[in-house]
Amino acid sequence: MIIAVDAMGGDLAPKEPIEGALLANRALGVDIALVGEPSALQTELARHGPTPSGIEIVAAAEWIGMDEVPVQAVRQKKQASINVAMHAMKQGDVSAVVSAGNTGAVMASALLNLGRVKGVERPAIGAMAPYTEKGILVLDVGANADCKPSYLEQFAYMGAVYMETVFGIREPRVGLLNIGEEETKGNELSQEVYARLKRSRLNFVGNVEPDRVHFGPVDVLVSDGFTGNVAVKVTEGVADFIFDELRSAISSSLRYKVAALLLKPALLAMRGKMDYGEYGGAPLLGVDGVVIVAHGKADAQAVKNAVALAQRAANSGMLDAMRGALQSPGTKNGEAGTVETSPSLDETRV
Amino acid sequence: MIIAVDAMGGDLAPKEPIEGALLANRALGVDIALVGEPSALQTELARHGPTPSGIEIVAAAEWIGMDEVPVQAVRQKKQASINVAMHAMKQGDVSAVVSAGNTGAVMASALLNLGRVKGVERPAIGAMAPYTEKGILVLDVGANADCKPSYLEQFAYMGAVYMETVFGIREPRVGLLNIGEEETKGNELSQEVYARLKRSRLNFVGNVEPDRVHFGPVDVLVSDGFTGNVAVKVTEGVADFIFDELRSAISSSLRYKVAALLLKPALLAMRGKMDYGEYGGAPLLGVDGVVIVAHGKADAQAVKNAVALAQRAANSGMLDAMRGALQSPGTKNGEAGTVETSPSLDETRV
């Protein structure tokens, strides 16, 4: 299996993606296509000694910066590393793409080069909230700020297929992020989505209130991209705030410093549990390929984790299962599923 | 000054509201009208010895339970304690109302008995997020799940007036809770609200990303009620999760127990900073009166804090300032403000 790594993507490119690719090649026995500007890649690779046979350079003359306007950049820079990587997947030359680059550009490039799985109106970005042993997939966490009910119903199917095939969770419990438990709670969107999920074939367990998410009552948590992004970012912000406060409290006295030394292993373990990056990457679901988005600040270890996730997803049959589930999601009574519409790339906010 | 306390409202009524009223009367020198079923109130009051002269019972034959349907219950139970309290404020007999009861019922009763401040389409519930020294007012946190841009613009004025008059913050910094910093980020609602706030007379400082909220870059944070509720509840959930994890880690070994003892003061201080209840209550803004909603589980101390906040708000001239600011919010260039519409009580989701 070959996995394409966008060597030009991310704040720390090409250094960390390349080092991460080398780590992944060594640890996971997976071949890597490093996509990027050849001379920059060769210079960086040379720093690590002889390049292993499982690492190949795929030339891309351009790249897209973190601040560029996604759709425009993807369209104008045909030879951007992310476009070349996606094209390689479309051709079947690689089994998955990993990028720590501009998320909007990854999404736009996937849409342009791979297209959507049939039955999917809008792809979504899923984030693994690693609270419980197996984690919770929250989606969408930012690809779609304005959503129709049908999008969220499709997110639910996409998330369930992902958790079932990639993580082996049978009949994943699907919940809807909402501001009350009862069916009638929430905004118009969530009330309509509730009704749809209730009559779907999914293992829908109802609304999940935002203060319960971290106690893991579900495997898949569905949300519009605006609210999902807020939930993920508030989680990060609160965790940062608490650990910042703890750090400054600790440094204020010797007594606290001693206590902190004693508590250190427990604190580190806890910090890990709050880390959305722990799982290595966020799957881009609903595009017709396996795409893992790593954090823009991903270091070599995080890139390696993202490659491991990509490998796992590519091996899992996730994409075929997704094609089957979304084409005719249907209902409990066997009625026909949602009808596909075909938005242009411009309509998709990335 | 007399403040009405809904003695029948909340999970711990009438015990805790009554004890809180007594505490407030003693500590704050404020007179209290305890509204509720007289015999229940007298029995409870008798447990505390002779009733001080500043405590008066106002009879209300009915009350509204925490699980009742708000608008319906408020309409049917004319003599419910919350209706009697609001009516007393309308008559000018009391200066503010404090209730730990069913939030939807408090909102509905305020709308029915007091009405809205002119220029306000929808009242909002504000929550003080006590991260910084003076706190941040987040609004709306749940009264309005579906919002129009004009609502959020009004929330911004309401919040600014509240922070300026009640907390003495001059030209409060107003931010918009959004999933990106730039003007073009977010959903349709947030983009429209951004444009409105930018041309308003407010000290608008732009979008605030959800992971920055806890580091306090603003005094007022505006949001639709769905997203605001999610942000507040995720904050509570993450804090609970972290402190739960810490507790269970600590109890797992003697070493950690020793460390925890040493760290205890710092941990307690931190927990306090994360507590949305610390400020004693959430103001109901946009109704034509001073109304403070305490937590449903408010104990005597929390009820006392809510009375203190109500006293402060009633003394601050907040309501007059609100009437002035909302009647013609206007723009930086002196254009006319938003036009008032008149929704019925049924249209207002409570």
pLDDT in tens, B90-147: 999 999 999 999 989 999 999 999 999 999 999 999 998 766 667 899 999 989 999 9
pLDDT at A19 over 90: yes
Q: Measured between CB atoms, which of B246, B259, B273 is closest to A245?
A: B273
Cβ of B210 and A226 within 8 Å?
A: no
Residue whose token pair is 């304690």: B81
Residues on chain A touching B241 (C-beta within 8 angstroms): 131, 214-215, 274
What is the arrangement of strands in the sheet containing B136-139, beginning at the earlier edge strand? B55-59, B31-36, B2-6, B96-99, B291-293, B282-285, B124-129, B136-139, B220-222, B173-177, B203-208
> What does the pLDDT average to over A23-46?
96
Q: How far apart are CA A60 and CA A79, in angstroms?
A: 6
Contact yes or no for B270 and A246 at CB 8 A: yes
Minimum Cα–Cα distance from A146: chain B residue: B187
Statement to judge: residues A262 and A204 lie in one domain: yes
CA B49 to chain A, closest CA, distance in angstroms equals: 41
Output the pLDDT for position A252. Answer: 84
Inter-residue contact B284 to B225 (CB < 8 Å): no
Q: How far is B203 from chain A (nearest CA, A)?
A: 24
In a domain, B167, yes or no: yes
Has residue B161 been placed in a domain? yes
Residues A30 and A74 in one domain: yes
pLDDT, tens digit, 9 for 90 and up, residues B155-186 = 999 999 999 999 999 999 999 999 988 888 89
pLDDT, mean of residues A234-240: 87
- Interface probe with A: pick from B138, B208, B245, most Cβ of A within 10 Å: B245
Q: Residue A329 domain-assigned? A: no
Q: What percent of chain A has pLDDT over 70?
A: 90
- pLDDT, mean of residues A18-25: 97
Closest CA to B10 of B67, B85, B95: B67
Domain membership of residue B29 (yes or no) is: yes
Which residue bears the tokens 């203190």?
Answer: B308
The answer on B139 and B68 residing in a single domain is: no
| pLDDT mean over A150-155 | 97
B227 neighbourhood in chain A, CB within 8 Å: 226-227, 230
B238 & B132 share domain: yes
pLDDT of residue B343: 46
- Most B CBs within 10 Å, among A209, A212, A238, A255, to test the B interface: A238
* Together in a domain, A133 and A111: no
Residue A205 lies in a domain: yes
In a domain, A330, yes or no: no
Neighbouring-strand partners of residue B2: B31
Mean pLDDT of B231-242: 88
The interface predicted TM-score of the complex, written ipTM, equals 0.87
Same domain for B134 and B260, yes or no, is yes
- pLDDT tens digits along B201-222: 999 999 999 988 877 789 999 9
What residues in B contact A270, CB-CB < 8 Å? Answer: 242, 245-246, 249
Select the residue from B234, B251, B261 to test the A interface by mutation, using most A Cβ atoms within 10 A. Answer: B234
Cβ within 8 Å, pair A145-B179: yes
User: What are the two backbone dihedrals, phi and then psi, of residue A223, each rounded to the nearest 5 degrees?
Assistant: -160, 160
Question: Which residue is closest to A254 within chain B, CA to CA?
Answer: B262
Sequence-ordered list of residues with C-beta below 8 angstroms from that of A133, at least 6 positions apart, any chain: none
Show the DSSP H helices in A134-224 as ranges: 149-167, 188-198
| A227 with B229: Cβ contact below 8 A | no
Q: What is the pLDDT of residue A266?
A: 82
Give yes or no for residue A331 having a pLDDT over 80.
Answer: no
Is the pLDDT score of B57 beyond 60?
Answer: yes
Task: Calculate mean pLDDT across residues A261-276.
Answer: 78
- Together in a domain, B1 and B106: yes
**Same domain for B68 and B172:** no
Q: Same domain for B266 and B145?
A: yes
Burial zone of B111 (CB within 10 Å; 0-12 exposed, 13-18 middle, 19+ buried): buried
**For residues A181 and A206, which has the higher predicted lDDT (pLDDT)?**
A206
pLDDT at A10: 92
Listed range (A13-22, A246-255, A284-293, B12-21) with the worst mean pLDDT: A246-255
Q: Answer yes or no: are the C-beta atoms of B324 and B158 closer than 8 Å.
A: no
pLDDT at A251 over 70: yes
Mean pLDDT for the stretch of residues B50-62: 96
Same domain, B135 and B210: yes
| Mean pLDDT, range A173-181, rounded to an integer | 95
pLDDT recorded at residue B133: 63
Residues B190 and B149 both lie in one domain: yes
Distance CA A278, CA A308 (A): 12
Structural domain for B51, as ranges: 1-123+286-318+331-341
Pick from A146, A209, A215: which is nearest to B241 by CB? A215
Tokens linked to B165: 């008059």
Question: Residue A306: pLDDT band by 50, 70, 90 thresholds?
Answer: very high
Q: A233 and B179: CB-CB below 8 Å?
A: yes
The reply to whether B210 falls in a domain is: yes
pLDDT value for B15: 97
pLDDT at B47: 96
Which stretch of DSSP H or E encloses residue B34?
strand B31-36
Kind of pairing between the strands at B31-36 and B55-59: parallel
Q: Does residue B79 sit within a domain?
A: yes
Residue B75 has pLDDT above 90, yes or no: yes
Residue contact B263–A266, C-beta within 8 A: no
Residues in chain B: 350
Tally of domains within chain A: 2
* CATH number, domain with residue A249: 3.40.718.10
Q: How confident is the model at residue A133 (pLDDT cuts 50, 70, 90)?
A: low
With contact defined as beta carbons under 8 Å apart, do B280 and B302 qualify? yes
Q: Are residues A256 and A292 in the same domain?
A: no
User: Which carries the bigger pLDDT value, residue A177 or residue B131?
Assistant: A177
pLDDT at position A279, please? 63
